[in-house]
Amino acid sequence: MDQSSKKQKVKVRINMTKNNSNISEFIKRQLPTDHELEEFEEIIEEKQKQEEINDSLSEIYQNDDENLVNMHKFDVKKKKGFLFWFFSFLIFASLITGIGHGIYYYLTNVDSDATAIEFAIQGKDKVMAGEEFFWTIKYKNLSRVSMSNVSIKAVYPDNFIFLESVPKPQIKNFTWHFDKINANQEGTIQIKGKIIGEKNASAILLADMTYMPENFTSTFKKEASYITSISDIGVDFDFEYSPTALMNEDNNIAINLTTNDNNFLQDFFITTTLPENIELISLTATSSDNIKDVDAFMVEQIKPNIWHVSGIKKQEQKLEIKYKVNQKIDGKQDMTLTLWQTGNDEQMYIFLEKKISVEIMQSNLNLTLIINGSKNDQTIDFGENLTYSIVYANKGEVDIKNVMIMAVLEGDFFDWTSLDDKNNGIKKNNTIIWSKNEIPNLTELEVDQEEIIDFSINVANFKETDIGKDFQIKSYAQFDIAKNDDDDDNNDVSADEPVVDKETNTDNRSNIIANRINSDFLLKESVRYFNEDDVPVGAGPLPFKIGQATSLKVYWTITNNLHELRDAKVEVNLPDNIHWNNKNSAEVGSVQYDNEQHKITWQIGRLPITVYKADAEFSISITPTINDVDKIMVLLPGSNAHAIDNKTSSDIIKTTKTKTTKLEDDETAMGISDGRVVE
């Protein structure tokens, strides 16, 4: 800095510090020398350094409240003694020991939980009656310590037959003992056997495992269970018998046997339990196989009421039981047939028990009602024709005169306009009556004389207004005998009310047959060149020409209102000259073609009543040859619809009529062609 600048700076500072000085006074003063200015600057710099030192000391000697510490007063802290450090050492040593012990315990005892045992049972969920299968008991030691004194015990269901096991049990056929199971060791016990019981019956295997871990003194236990049910017996048993048993006459019970594809019941036993007044005359076996060999279907009596049946095969086989009622004790009596097998323990394993209730009839005039060839209850279809036969016979010791016989038909679904009775019986409400006026031999029935009255009637067709009615009909026959041969009034059946005995005594009645009506499952089939709107859905020449292909559309429609159906399907086998065009659709299920069998199947499956209508369609084609000229050719031989009624458990089968090149369902096409093949 030069001297002039310094002087100017001093002048400015002096001027700023003296506000009351005027210019004249400033001019009069003598300017400072250069030496004075240097001394002034040194003083200023020294003062700044002192302020910086003071600020640093203040920061050092300030307390937390930013006040200066009183340096004239000192607080002296006592030094920690021996006891303090001794106990601190003990605490620290204990802490280190605990941590070390914990680490050691973790490293040496991890996964040594006494409950760390895997114990379970595996097997089949469903088996056939008599089918051999395995239950597998699995065990595994998941811990790092061994298990000693291990025992596994199985509790079998009553319907289980033990055959063998691997390994073999130590106690009878249900207990296995192991001295030791090492850490992480696993093993299995396979139990082979079979179940004999009723269809859908369950068999529950229970098993427990007791053991003692090596680091425990207590015994622990694990339990497991498994359920296997019987899917089917393997043989269908159909019992046919009359619910009415005539005194002093041979009465029959027929057991029809039908084997399934998977059948493991090759033989079984039958035990009969009869009241004292009923005598079993015989039990015989008949088969469609006439070959007599060791394996032939046969029955052998073992004890007075026990028979052994053997040689069950996939063919028509029947057991027939004949019995006689020697005395009437009660109006209705029960007989029980028990079907069972036995195992190695000779225990009785029951798979079917049938109770047969019969009404004992005591009369000199025996009546037997037969519908469609059967004396038993049966299912029927809407629109079906029912053929009735009333067999009446004098089984007394004297002739019977002036007999009246009645057929009583109860239900809402008889189509009385279809009644066909060659004897012209008199109809009164729901009853048909025959006397000597209609059937002359009713004037007098000689001893052991037997006659038959035949008639038929249709089941009415279903109408939507029928929903809510009782879809069952009941039928029986009944007789009456005039008190006086000359009393014409006794033979007059022209009164308004039918001659029907309403008394509780039913000795003058036949057996009663109840017919449950299946659901109204129907199939409608049509083959068309034009649809209902006259739009072509086929292609090719019409009329049909030799050497040229004509395609047609096939429509299937099923309807069902009353009961849910299962296993529903529609099938048709195509003629050899009809080709599948692979154009198909279905509202429910699927349409499939089997090339080997040349068959079309509409697989529907379950059909609930909410689906009261469903359609399917597919295309076929035909190419006539020279040999087909001027002929009407078959397009479809008739399709079959099949379903099982869930309520009646009966098969429903519907068949359509043959479809030809006349295209009977297509009015537009019929106006173009008469169905004959042209050149």
- DSSP for 426-484, please give it: EEETTEEEE-TTT-GGGGEE-TT-EEEEEEEEEEPPP-GGGTTS--EEEEEEEEEE-S-
**Any idea which of 111-125, 413-427, 589-603, 637-651 has the lowest mean pLDDT?**
111-125
From the centroid of its chain, how far is CA 467? 28
Assess contact for 367 and 392: CB atoms under 8 A: yes
> How far is it, in rounded angstroms, from Cα 146 to Cα 180?
7
Element spanning 104, H or E: helix 82-109
> How far is it, in rounded angstroms, from Cα 521 to Cα 582?
27
CATH number corresponding to 235-361: 2.60.40.740
Element spanning 286, H or E: strand 278-287
Q: What pLDDT sits at residue 32?
A: 59
> How far is it, in rounded angstroms, from Cα 151 to Cα 208?
8
Residue 27 confidence (pLDDT) above 50: no
Radius of gyration of the chain (CA): 53
Look-up of token digits 């019977």 = 400
- Coil, strand or helix at 590: strand
- If we measure between CA atoms, which residue out of 598, 612, 620 comes closest to residue 554? 620
> How far is it, in rounded angstroms, from Cα 129 to Cα 232?
6
Share of the chain above pLDDT 90, in %: 57
- If we measure between CA atoms, which residue out of 477, 476, 478, 479 comes closest to residue 513? 476
Q: What pLDDT sits at residue 80?
A: 58
- If we measure between CA atoms, which residue out of 523, 521, 472 comes closest to residue 646? 521
pLDDT tens string 251-277: 889 999 988 888 898 899 999 999 999
Q: What pLDDT sits at residue 397?
A: 78
Residue 360 confidence (pLDDT) above 50: yes
* Partner residues linked to 160 by β-bridges: 195
Residue 68 confidence (pLDDT) above 70: no
pLDDT tens string 666-675: 999 999 999 9
What mean pLDDT comes out for the span 462-474?
86
Q: What pLDDT sits at residue 358?
A: 87
Residue 496 confidence (pLDDT) above 80: no
What mean pLDDT comes out for the span 80-95?
68
Q: What pLDDT sits at residue 50?
A: 65
Q: And the tokens for 33? A: 């020398």
> How far is it, in rounded angstroms, from Cα 386 to Cα 415?
11
Alpha-carbon separation of residue 283 from 272, 294, 549 (angstroms): 10, 19, 63
What mean pLDDT comes out for the span 580-586?
87
> How far is it, in rounded angstroms, from Cα 491 to Cα 484?
10
Q: And the tokens for 671? A: 């106006």
- If we measure between CA atoms, which residue out of 374, 412, 365 comes closest to residue 243? 374
Length of the chain: 679
What mean pLDDT comes out for the span 588-606?
92
Residue 10 confidence (pLDDT) above 80: no
Q: What pLDDT sits at residue 290?
A: 52
Nearest-5° angle of CA 256, CA 258, CA 262? 155
What mean pLDDT comes out for the span 358-384?
87
Rounded to a whole number of angstroms, the distance between the first and last alpha carbons of the chain is 135
- If we measure between CA atoms, which residue out of 17, 40, 45, 41 comes closest to residue 29? 17
Residue 58, φ and ψ in degrees, nearest 5: -65, -40
Topology of domain 365-517, CATH: Immunoglobulin-like (2.60.40)
Burial 411-439 (b: 16+ CB within 10 A, else e): bebbeeeeeebeeebbebebbbbbbbbbb
**Any idea which of 93-107, 194-208, 361-375, 443-457 has the lowest mean pLDDT?**
93-107
Position 77, amino acid: K
Average pLDDT, the chain: 83
Burial (Cβ within 10 Å: 0-12, 13-18, ≥19) of residue 497: exposed
Look-up of token digits 């000391």 = 57
Q: What pLDDT sits at residue 362?
A: 75
Residue 78 confidence (pLDDT) above 60: no
Assess contact for 510 and 367: CB atoms under 8 A: yes
Locate the domains of the chain by residue range.
3-51, 117-232, 235-361, 365-517, 522-670
pLDDT tens string 134-172: 999 999 999 889 999 999 999 999 999 999 999 999 998
Q: What pLDDT sits at residue 96?
A: 76
Look-up of token digits 């039958």 = 270
- If we measure between CA atoms, which residue out of 178, 171, 228 comes closest to residue 205? 228
pLDDT band at 250 (very low <50, low <70, confident <90, very high): confident
CATH code 2.60.40.1170 for 522-670:
yes
What mean pLDDT comes out for the span 610-621?
93
Alpha-carbon separation of residue 120 from 125, 145, 455, 609 (angstroms): 15, 20, 66, 43
Q: And the tokens for 613? A: 């209508």
Whether the bond into 167 is cis, omega within 30 of 0: yes
Q: And the tokens for 551? A: 């395609």
Residue 9 confidence (pLDDT) above 60: no
- If we measure between CA atoms, which residue out of 536, 561, 568 comes closest to residue 550? 536
Position 170, amino acid: Q
More confident residue, 111 or 138: 138
* Partner residues linked to 336 by β-bridges: 273, 355
| DSSP per-residue codes, 468-493 | TS--EEEEEEEEEE-S-TT-GGGG--
Task: State the CATH architecture for 117-232.
Answer: Sandwich (2.60)
Assess contact for 31 and 10: CB atoms under 8 A: yes
**Any idea which of 286-290, 315-319, 456-460 has the lowest mean pLDDT?**
286-290
Share of the chain above pLDDT 70, in %: 79
**Any idea which of 329-333, 369-373, 496-500 has the lowest mean pLDDT?**
496-500
Q: What pLDDT sits at residue 111?
A: 46
Burial 449-461 (b: 16+ CB within 10 A, else e): eeeebebbbbbbe
Residue 104 confidence (pLDDT) above 60: no
Q: What pLDDT sits at residue 467?
A: 79
Q: Greatest CA separation found in the chain?
A: 187
pLDDT tens string 162-213: 999 999 999 989 999 999 999 999 999 999 999 999 999 999 999 999 999 9
Residue 23 confidence (pLDDT) above 60: no
Q: What pLDDT sits at residue 327?
A: 87
Cβ atoms within 10 Å of 379's Cβ, excluding its own: 18
* Partner residues linked to 338 by β-bridges: 271, 353
Residue 36 confidence (pLDDT) above 80: no
| The domains spanning 235-361 and 522-670 adopt the same CATH topology | yes
More confident residue, 330 or 442: 442
- If we measure between CA atoms, which residue out of 130, 648, 124 comes closest to residue 339? 130
Residue 103 confidence (pLDDT) above 90: no
Return the C-alpha torsion angle 210, 216, 217, 223, nearest 10. -20
